[in-house]
Structure 1
């Protein structure tokens, strides 16, 4: 039960949305390419776009593009470390980000529970380097049987907390997804990405993204 406890915050997050008018919505399409370099090392590259289809001014806008590269080192069956870099193109800005992840996964029959601790550094010209930390817990379960086979569906639920040291801002994310394993080398997930920001300031900002992610293995 302690692993599922963070999801209880969903109820609180929804109540905050109802009371706030600062709300954006849009799409987050993403493609992820992974290559198994060795038994313990994976190289993962991705590109993600963000388009706003609704905001307080009812305007459509293309918000940003993220291009990332991650080297994942598996230390044992359940644990791994990620070291990555992201370049973000947002309007006229270019933002560089480096990050480090520590991941561990528990497998209970058909239920997979994952934890991730992360540290991030943001670099921009003529601006001070900023730092952020985050924690995510996720649950994944096949809809049929004890494992996800080809042409089968699964569900994935995520709950994440992000803290920005510069702004003293806490952001909470809730991400329910429905996945489909199309083949041995690719799968696709559809879902929502709800974000509640400016939580500590009590001036909350709400974002709801419709997310589509295509995972492709090129081993």
Structure 2
């Protein structure tokens, strides 16, 4: 079973990487760092900073597509349901003249379901994006499943596999579009206060665009800290 799990991870990662180069898709590296803390048993907060870097432009100032600080909160209304909201600020092309901004407000609900003893996580999110160029609404639904590579329980020092898929639609009074994001990743659970994740995401963008569908491959490196 352990061999099959590792084999699946490397097979899918290799296929996605080869496809990225074959299609001349946009290649992005997104590092992020997150810190979370609890105000009470039900109420928690999280602060995160992430970047969006073009791997094709690392030799010039246009490599940094944006820098994005984030602040979110969650409230556990029951053991299986969390309500939340937050605010993002995006500074696009910060090292080029005429950089643009985005203020993003979000509301979300997260809940879990079970297939046998397998825990499936769901997230439904609404966003209001106030950008320097326009205003846009977005609705997102994400399905995710994490499981340890050794045994049934995740213990300190163990690795885990991450599978996610998210669909979304963005719209305003003038236009609408859609996007799909598929993720596979590997996580290292150091303890209940620290973990690290390495993931590969494939984005199918501009699904309803007249100019045709575009493709993006994103390498994500994430470090999480808890109080």
Partners of 2:63 and 2:152 in 1: CA distance:
42
Bigger helix share = 2
Partners of 1:141 and 1:194 in 2: CA distance:
21
Unaligned 5+ residue runs, structure 2?
1-11, 94-98
1:212 equivalenced with 2:221 (yes/no): yes
Aligned to 1:172: 180
Deviation at 1:109, TM superposition (A): 6.7
Cα distance per residue 1:73-125 (max 9 Å; x no partner): 11000000111000001021121000011100125576321011110001134
Aligned to 1:48: 50
Q: Secondary structure at the match of 2:151?
A: coil
Aligned to 1:97: 104
Cα distance per residue 1:150-201 (max 9 Å; x no partner): 0001111000001011331110000101011112211011010110001123
Partners of 2:103 and 2:207 in 1: CA distance:
25
1:110·1:147 contact (CA, 8 Å) conserved in 2? no
Q: For residues 65-84 of structure 1, what are the structure 2 equivalents within 5 Å?
A: 65-84=67-86
Pick closer, same or farther for the CA change 1:109–1:145 going to 2, 3 Å: farther
Any runs of at least 4 consecutive aligned residues in structure 1 with deviations exceeding 3 A, and if so which? 107-110
Count the aligned residue pairs: 200
Q: What is the TM-score with the length of structure 1 in the denominator?
A: 0.84
Q: Superposition RMSD on alpha carbons, in Å?
A: 2.3
Partners of 1:28 and 1:113 in 2: CA distance:
25
Partners of 1:180 and 1:124 in 2: CA distance:
36
Deviation at 1:130, TM superposition (A): 1.2
Q: For residues 177-196 of structure 1, what are the structure 2 equivalents within 5 Å?
A: 177-196=185-204
Aligned to 2:3: none
- In terms of mean alpha carbon deviation, does 99-108 or 74-83 score higher? 99-108
1:146 equivalenced with 2:146 (yes/no): no
Unaligned 5+ residue runs, structure 1?
1-9
1:119 equivalenced with 2:126 (yes/no): yes
Partners of 1:157 and 1:199 in 2: CA distance:
22
Aligned to 1:23: 25
